[in-house]
Amino acid sequence: MWRRSAERRALLWRRSVALRQVIVDMLAISILVIVVSAYIWKRWRSHSDKLPPGPFNIPLLGSWEFIKLYFTNGSLIEMYQRLGKRYGPVVFLRIAMDSPVVCIRGYEALKAASTDTRLAGMYGTFFYRFLAGFKNYGISLADGHNWRKGKKFLNRGLAQLGLSKESLEALVNEECSKALDEVLVRDDNVVNIEKALGLATTNIFFRGAYSRTYDHQDANYWEMKEAIATAFQTVAKLQTVLDFLPWLKPFNATYRKMSKALDCLYSYADLIINEHKATIKENNPRDLVDSYLLAAANAGEDDEVSTENLRVMIRDTLAGGLDTPSTAIVWAILLVAAHPQVQAKLHAELDSVIGRERAPSLDDEKSCPYTRAVIDETFRYFNLTPFNRHFATQGDTTFLGYHIPANSIILMDLHSMQHSRETWGDPENFRPERFLTEDGPRLREHVRPFGFSARVCPAEAYARKVVFLFVAQMFQRASLRLPEGVKKVAAETTYSITVRFEKPEVVIQAR
Ligand code: HEM
């Protein structure tokens, strides 16, 4: 009797376990069906919304094109060249987790996009928010009122105080001639031109903006350069695993590297701010930082908020300005060194307009059309930022009749415009003369190294002046050629926001 009831209880228990299992299975299947249906519905709807054309995307994994690029370390420029030929000026793809990417190509489409602020929002992904410190401060990663205010300040500040026309000429001449004096005693040696001149261009900006200088032995300088390179390379990847699984951050090497890099940039900003606060004089602003602190105090801004904003602004100017002018100058030097006939014309113009006795001035620029054409052709040939800085749409929008979903990554393919065969005929050749024809002014419209959007670089005027003065002084005083056996200059293959050279080496001789 007792045995029979135990068997019955066991049987009932087995049945209830089996029933529970069926219920759990059915629940799991229902959830799966709902998720898959929602996913198919979402995709079907987004397709019906007139997305731009593009290749097939594997659900959740994204386009095969991106997967291939990731595993082969291929070139984003070449990938979009290929896709552009097939799909036209607006190409649509998805990357992991179905995130939409829209690439805008060619002058007409880029021009239309450049005034469309709905396409120029900041990324909302974890990594971007982390870079922005999860706050809306500074310029580069800020939006709305704070961005406009920061940009207005920087636009004005870069033309005043330590960076006004006269002080800039004096600064460039001093830093450039010091660097050249050192390098020109090493006649006929192979020189790493970036190492030899990079610090000079950094110091021009640092002296004018922050009243500080660096020397080659300063570990901080190299640490900051490394920090900025890491930030640009990480952001260039479009996505990181942390954008989907942010709780993995303690185990993520890139996150740890970036945290260290940001700490390095912020501690430098703190140093600058504290020095300035301790020595500022109300009626005598010395530089960009003093003028910011005085303006904030006069406007009665909260000290903590305005100091935090200034920290981020200094971080933005470091990230934007530490390397870019020197990269542009090194590209110009390498390209001219690789083209002796261009160098001969450059020398002839500089000799006849400036001579060899006095340093170049900004007033010389209008009398040096060939030097200007060399600089424009450098910016065209190796666009420093081939896809501009990456943006994202903050809501659903339309562009050229296409539906662009919210949170699409927007890539402005500036390379496609600066290397269009229809516009340039022979884009693969370095040929400054093309800007000296009647068509020159129209062609210059097609070269946008400082961006082609509402968020165009605030330092364009400043950087152009520095590049002109530097290149003019360099070729006024020196002749350059590529080292023995080197036939052409090439870009580094690691994709980053900015394109850097593979080997910045030249042989330099005093003239
Ligand atoms: C040859 C030198 C330079 C080049 C080629 C360059 C290029 C660029 C480009 C392509 C952008 C993105 C524009 C866009 O999104 O449409 C940008 C933005 C920016 N650049 Fe520069 N840049 C240079 C020098 C500098 C310098 C010296 C500074 C330092 C003040 C600077 C600070 C910035 C900032 C703060 C932004 C963000 C602007 C915004 O978000 O509105 N840049 N730059």
pLDDT in tens, 222-277: 888 888 888 888 877 777 888 888 888 889 888 888 888 888 889 989 999 999 99
- Distance of CA 47 from the midpoint of ligand 1 (Å): 36
Q: What is the pLDDT, as a whole number, of residue 384?
A: 87
**Minimal-distance CA residue to ligand 1 atom 1:** 325
Distance from the CA of 324 to the center of ligand 1, in angstroms? Answer: 8
Nearest CA to ligand 1 atom 26: 321
Ligand 1 neighbourhood includes 320 CB (under 6 angstroms): yes
Of 156, 126, 122, 124, nearest in space to 139 by CA: 122
For residue 49, the model assigns a pLDDT of: 64
Q: Do both 150 and 106 map to the same domain? A: no
Please state the atom number of ligand 1 nearest to the C-alpha of residue 139: 40
Provide the number of structural domains found in the chain.
Answer: 2
* CA–CA dist 127, 191 (Å, integer): 38
Could you tell me the distance, in angstroms and rounded to a whole number, from the CA of residue 33 to the centre of ligand 1? 48
Distances (CA, A) of 92 to 51, 125, 190, 360, 483: 7, 19, 46, 48, 43
Any idea what the CATH number is for the domain that residue 268 is in? 1.10.630.10
* pLDDT tens-digit map of 362-384: 999 999 999 999 999 999 999 88
Q: Is 144 found in the same domain as 38? A: no
CA torsion 140-141-143-146 (nearest 10°) is -70
* Ligand 1 nearest atom to the CA of residue 142, by list position: 40
Is 139 found in the same domain as 82? no
pLDDT at position 162, please? 66
According to DSSP, the β-strands at 100-105 and 409-413 are parallel
CA distances from 211 to 108, 204, 214, 352 (A): 42, 10, 11, 36
Which of residues 119, 146, 166 is at a domain's end? 119
98 and 181 housed in the same domain: no
Same domain, 189 and 166: yes
Q: Are residues 432 and 506 in the same domain?
A: yes
Q: Are 155 and 85 contained in the same domain?
A: no
Cα–Cα distance, 371 to 346 (Å, whole number): 6
pLDDT for the residue numbered 404: 94
Both 220 and 89 in one domain: the answer is no
Q: Is the CB of 443 under 6 A from ligand 1?
A: no
> Ligand 1 pocket test: which of 154, 378, 457 has the largest number of ligand atoms within 8 Å of its C-beta?
457
Of 67, 88, 119, which residue constitutes the final position of a domain? Answer: 119
Are 80 and 201 members of one domain? no
State whether the beta carbon of 138 lies less than 6 angstroms from ligand 1. Answer: no
Range of the domain at 42: 2-119
Instruction: Kindly give the parts of the chain with pLDDT less than 70.
Output: 1-3, 39-49, 161-162, 187-188, 493
Structure tokens at 64: 């095969």
Q: What is the DSSP letter of 435?
A: G
The last residue of one of the domains, among 66, 90, 119, is 119
Q: Based on the fold, state whether residues 216 and 108 are members of the same structural domain.
A: no
pLDDT number for residue 43: 63
- The Å distance, Cα 316 to ligand 1 centre, comes to 9
- What does the pLDDT read at residue 160? 77
459 lines ligand 1 (CB under 6 A): yes
**Collapsed DSSP state (helix, strand, coil) of residue 507:** strand
pLDDT in tens, 287-332: 899 999 999 998 898 989 999 999 999 999 988 888 899 999 999 9
**Same domain as 259, residue 142:** yes
The pair of three-digit structure tokens given for residue 48, joined into one six-digit string: 């019906």
Residue written as token pair 């301790």: 278
> Are 227 and 359 within one domain?
yes
**C-alpha 306 to ligand 1 mean position (Å):** 22
| pLDDT at res. 412 | 94
Please spell the DSSP secondary structure of 348-399, one letter per residue. Answer: HHHHHHTTTTS---GGGGGG-HHHHHHHHHHHHHT-SSTT-S-EE-SS-EEE
Amino acid 245: pLDDT: 86
**Does residue 458 have its Cβ closer than 6 Å to ligand 1?**
yes
CA 58 to centroid of chain Cα atoms: 29
Taking only the tens place, the pLDDT of each residue in 32-52 is: 878 777 766 666 566 556 899
Establish whether residue 139 lines the binding site of ligand 1, counting it when its CB lies within 6 angstroms of any ligand atom: yes
- Whose CA is closest to atom 28 on ligand 1? 321
Q: Rounded to a whole number, what is the distance in angstroms from the first to the last CA of the chain?
A: 115
Question: What is the C-alpha to C-alpha distance for residues 122 and 393, in angstroms, rounded to an integer?
Answer: 8
324 Cβ closer than 6 Å to some ligand 1 atom: yes
389 lines ligand 1 (CB under 6 A): yes
| DSSP code for 165 | H
151 alpha carbon – ligand 1 mean position (Å): 11
**455 DSSP assignment:** T
